[in-house]
A = this chain, B = another copy of it.
Amino acid sequence: MSEAAITRALARFLATSRWEDVPEIVRHEGRRSLLNYVAAALSGHADPLIARLLRVLSPLSGARAATVVGQRARLDVLSAAFVNTATVNVQDFDDTHMPTVIHPTAAVASPLLAWSEHAPVGGRDLLHALILGIDAECRIGNALHPSHYRRGWHTTATCGVFGAAAGIGRLMGLDEDHMVWALGNAATQACGLIENLGSSSKSVGVGNAARNGLAAALFAQQEVDGPAQPIEGARGFIAVATDTPHPDAVVRDLGAVWEIRNNTYKPSPCGVVLFPVIDACLALRASHRLTADQIAHVTVTGHPLLLERTDRPDVTIAHQARVSLQHTAAVVFLYGAAGIVQYGQDCVDAPEVGALRAKVSAAVDPQCPVESAAVSVRTTDGRTLDKRVAAWRGSLALPLSDANLEAKLRDVVAAVAPWCDAGRLIETVWTIERLPDAAALMRLVVP
C-alpha cells in the first residue's frame, strides 16, 4: 500500500463496507461494546461533573433532538455527543483497546446514537457504523503507537475524533471523496493531553472528540473540503503527532482484521492495574472460605506500576478508592465484590472497610508482569494463604463473558439507575440489528 493512498483507501473501505462481509464474531463484539457502553454511561450519569457540563451547554443548545443518558434534559446532537461521551468515560468504567490504550466506544457510539435520534436509522446500520468507526479510530491509534501516547497525547481523544467522523460519515452515507474530507476535518481537530487526566478537563477532551468528529462529517456533507492526505501527508496527523509512525497500519488487512476484536471491558470501576488483585482476593476468599475477621494481614505484590498508581492506604473519598489497592483488597475480602457499590462513598466510610484497609500493605516485585499480581494473607490463626493471578478477568486472554457483561449492567442499574429496565435494555442491545429505529435504545436510558 503506497503511503499516498492511505486516507483514500480508508475512506473507500468506510464508504463501501458491506454488512455481509462483517463476520458474526466481529458483529458480536460490536454488540458487546455497545452493552458495555450503556453500562458505563449509566454508571456516570450522576457524576457531579455532568451537571456542570450541562450548565454550560444546555443554554447554548439548538434543536434538542438528542437524549442525554440518565437526564431529562435533551440537547442538540453535537452537545449530546459531547455530554454522553463524557458520561461514559467519567467513571473510567468504559472499554479499552489493548494495543493502544484507547477507550474506543464512547466517542463513536455517542454521536451515532445522537444522530439516530435526528435522522432515523436501523439498528443494523448503526451497529455497522459503530464497528467501522472503532476500526478507523484504533487503526489510526496503531499507526501512532507508542510514541504518541508516551509523548503525552491522550489517544482516546486524539483518535476518537477520527472514529466519530468515520462512523457518522458512514451513517450519513458519505461517498469516498466526502469521507476523505470528513477525515480531514477530523484531523485538524485531533487533540487531547495526558496531562489533563485526573482533572475534570479530561472530559472536555473526550467529549470534544465525539462532538468534533460529528461536526467534521457534517461539514464534509456540506462540501467543506479537506486535504487529500490528512492522515499520511507530509504535515498530516501521523507526521506531526508521533515519532514512531506506522502509516501502513491504518490500512493493513482492512476488512480482514477488525480492531474491535482487541477491545476489552472492565469488570470493576477501578484502575486496570487492580484487576489481578481483585481476582486473587476473590480466589482466596472462595477457596478458603475466608471471612474478614480471620485476616491478620494482607500483602499485595505486583509490578512497580501497581504500587506507583495504587499504593494508597488513606482513602477518604470515592475518587481515591478506585485507585487504592488497600481499599480494593478490603472490599473484596469483606463483600466478595468490587462493583459500583463497593467503590461508593458509603463503603469508603464504613468502619469495617477502614479497619481492613489498615491491614493491607503493598510490595513491589520488578519481575512481576503488569497484568499479573500476587496476594498473600496471614490469618489470625497463623496460616499463610497465597494466590498469584497471571491474567485478569476481562483481559484479552480471559475476556468477560456475555453473562459477565450483563451482570455488570445489572450491577450499575441496581446501584445508580434503579429506574432503568435492565432486562429490556440487555435484550435490546443483543437484538439491535432487528430494531427498525435504533433510537429506541436511547429511550431506555432515561428516567
B215 near A201: Cβ-Cβ < 8 Å: no
User: Is the C-beta of A420 less than 8 angstroms from some C-beta in chain B?
Assistant: no
Q: In this complex, which of A189, A203, A216, A223 has the most chain B Cβ atoms within 10 angstroms of its Cβ?
A: A189
A224-B200, A225-B200 given as contacts; is B52 within 8 A of A236 (CB)? no
Q: Does A229 contact B (CB under 8 A)?
A: yes
Is A157 an interface position by the 8 A CB rule? yes
Partner of A216, one of B203, B204, B218, B237: B204
CA A85 to CA B153, docked complex, whole Å? 26
Contact B208 A226 (CB under 8 A): no
Task: Indicate whether A222 reaches chain B with its CB closer than 8 angstroms.
Answer: yes
B230 touching A196, Cβ below 8 Å: yes
* Whole-angstrom CA separation of A234 from B212 in the bound complex: 26
Query: Are A52 and B216 neighbours in the complex by a CB distance under 8 Å?
Result: no
Q: Smallest Cβ distance from A242 to chain B, in angstroms?
A: 11
Known: A193-B240, A195-B187, A227-B195. A78 touches B60 (CB 8 A): yes
Residue numbers in B under 8 Å from A229 (CB-CB): 195
Q: Of residues A195, A215, A235, which shows the largest number of chain B Cβ atoms within 10 Å of its Cβ? A: A195
A201 partner, pick from B76, B157, B227, B235, beta carbons under 8 A: B227
Is B215 touching A199 in the complex (CB atoms < 8 A)?
Answer: no
Q: How far is the CB of A303 from chain B (nearest CB, A)?
A: 21
Which residue on B lies nearest to A63, using beta carbons?
B59
| Nearest chain B residue, comparing its CB with the CB of A183 | B201
Interface residue? A399 (CB, 8 A): no
A23 contacts partner chain B, Cβ-Cβ < 8 Å: no
Say if the beta carbon of A159 comes within 8 Å of chain B. no
Distance between Cα atoms of A218 and B79 in the complex (Å): 14
Q: Contact partner of A60 among B49, B62, B223, B239, CB < 8 A?
A: B62
When the two chains form their complex, are residues B151 and A239 in contact, meaning their CB atoms are under 8 A apart? Answer: yes
What chain B residues lie within 8 Å of A184 (beta carbons)? 195-196, 199, 201
Q: Whose C-beta in chain B lies nearest to the C-beta of A233?
A: B195
The verdict on A163 contacting chain B, using a C-beta distance below 8 Å, is no
Quick check: is A18 within 8 A (CB to CB) of the other chain? no
A188 to B221, CA, bound (A): 27
The reply to whether A188 and B53 form a contact with Cβ atoms under 8 Å apart is: no
Tell me, in angstroms, the Cα distance from A219 to B236 when the chains sit together.
30
Number of copies: 2
Contact of A194 among B60, B219, B224, B235 (CB under 8 A): B235
Please report the C-alpha to C-alpha distance between residue A55 and residue B77 in the assembled complex, in whole angstroms: 15
CA distance A395 to B364 in the complex (A): 62
A93 in the interface, Cβ–Cβ < 8 Å? no
Q: Which of chain B's residues have a CB closer than 8 A to the CB of A212?
A: 208
A234 to B181: give the CA distance in the assembly, Å: 34
- Proximity bits, A64-92, B CB within 8 Å = 1, else 0: 00000000000011100000000000000
Q: Are B204 and A224 in contact (CB under 8 A)?
A: yes
Contact B219 A199 (CB under 8 A): no
Q: Which chain B residue has the least Cβ–Cβ distance from A184?
A: B201
**A219–B204 alpha-carbon span in the complex (Å):** 8
Q: Assuming A152-B235, A195-B229, is B60 touching A77 (CB within 8 A)? A: yes
Given A222-B52, A233-B195, residue A240 in contact with residue B153 (CB < 8 A) = yes
Taken together as a complex, chains A and B put the C-alpha atoms of A191 and B197 apart, in Å, by: 18
20 A-B pairs whose Cβ atoms sit less than 8 Å apart in the complex: A60-B61, A60-B63, A62-B76, A151-B239, A151-B240, A152-B240, A153-B240, A184-B195, A184-B196, A184-B199, A185-B201, A188-B196, A191-B191, A193-B237, A195-B229, A200-B219, A201-B224, A201-B226, A201-B230, A204-B216
Counting from the closest, the 6 A-B pairs by CB-CB distance are A152-B235, A191-B191, A201-B226, A188-B205, A195-B235, A60-B62
List residues of chain A with CB under 8 Å of any chain B CB.
49, 52-53, 55-56, 59-63, 76-78, 151-154, 157, 181, 184-185, 187-196, 198-205, 208, 212, 215-216, 218-219, 221-227, 229-230, 233-237, 239-240
- Inter-chain pairs besides A56-B215, A181-B201, A189-B205, 12 sampled, C-beta below 8 Å: A52-B223, A52-B224, A56-B218, A56-B222, A59-B62, A60-B62, A188-B205, A189-B192, A191-B191, A195-B229, A199-B226, A200-B225
